[in-house]
């Protein structure tokens, strides 16, 4: 078992989770509007959906990896290419992070369900996991499916912790974003650097 690869996966996962995207912005807005408990309920739903995407990738990709080393390399090449494509999209994206949204008051259970459905029905999550996970398989001896689930659990745990912190500190985060308009531009280049860095890691390490 290569713990350095697992450590690299954890760091990359945390950087990806911290980046403002639909999920973390939705958690932030729910927390600002309804309170931190509602943000955490939303977070639980979102991270629960990750189990479904992990399962799809684990069983689908594991079967392909067993067939050929060339297929495994092709999957890694696809992953690196997709991450570079995300860097390209980020470069051409709008830098503004909008927190202005009308949010309907919902129960904890409804927020959990909504977070779960939002995640599960987003095909981009499965595509991203397909690109991201194979580059961090950490053992030549352990079953590939088990490795994918280990990576999935790591991703779930760190996501839940970060989303929960965002929920608890929602007011401070929102205030900071409103008072530092240049933060979005700086964050854009951080996102690009992370995507490019992960692409090279997947290909060459």
Q: For residue 161, give both structure tokens.
A: 């912790």
Q: Is residue 95 within 8 Å of 184, Cβ to Cβ?
A: yes
| Residue ranges of the chain whose pLDDT lies below 70 | 95-105, 178, 181, 184
pLDDT at 20: 75
Q: How far apart are CA 67 and CA 46, in angstroms?
A: 33
Nearest to 153 by CA among 2, 41, 48: 48
Q: Is residue 152 within 8 Å of 51, Cβ to Cβ?
A: yes
pLDDT at 198: 86
Q: For residue 166, give both structure tokens.
A: 């965002």
pLDDT digits (tens, 9 = 90+) for 8-27: 999 999 999 988 777 888 88
Please report the DSSP string for the chain in residue order.
Answer: --HHHHHHHHHHHHHHHHS--HHHHHHHHHHHHH-HHHHHHHHHHHHHHHHHHHHHHHHHHHHHHHH-HHHHHHHHHHHHHHHHHHHHHHHTS--------------HHHHHHHHHHHHHT-HHHHHHHHHHGGGG---SSS-HHHHHHHHHHHHHHHHHHHHHHHHHTHHHHHHHHHH-TTHHHHHHHHHHHHHHHHHHHHHH-
- The set of residues, in sequence order, having a beta carbon less than 8 Å from that of 55 and lying 6+ positions away, is none
pLDDT at 116: 94
């Amino acid at each position: 078992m290569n713990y350095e690869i697992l450590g690299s996966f954890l760091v990359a996962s945390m950087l990806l989770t911290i980046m403002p995207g639909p999920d973390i912005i939705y958690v932030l807005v729910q927390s600002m509007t309804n309170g931190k408990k509602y943000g955490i309920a939303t977070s639980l739903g979102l991270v629960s959906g990750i189990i479904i995407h992990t399962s799809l990738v684990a069983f689908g990709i594991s079967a392909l990896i067993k067939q050929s080393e060339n297929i495994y390399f092709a999957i890694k090449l696809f992953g690196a290419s997709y991450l570079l494509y995300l860097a390209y999209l980020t470069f051409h994206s709008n830098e503004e992070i909008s927190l202005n949204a009308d949010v309907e008051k919902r129960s904890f259970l409804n927020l959990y369900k909504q977070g779960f459905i939002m995640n599960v029905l987003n095909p981009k999550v499965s595509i991203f996991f397909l690109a991201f996970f194979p580059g961090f398989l950490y053992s030549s001896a352990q079953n590939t499916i088990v490795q994918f689930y280990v990576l999935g659990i790591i991703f779930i745990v760190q996501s839940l912790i970060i989303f929960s912190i965002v929920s608890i500190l929602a007011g401070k985060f929102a205030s900071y974003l409103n008072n530092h308009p240049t933060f979005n531009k700086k964050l854009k280049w951080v996102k690009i650097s992370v995507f490019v860095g992960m692409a090279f890691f997947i290909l060459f390490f």
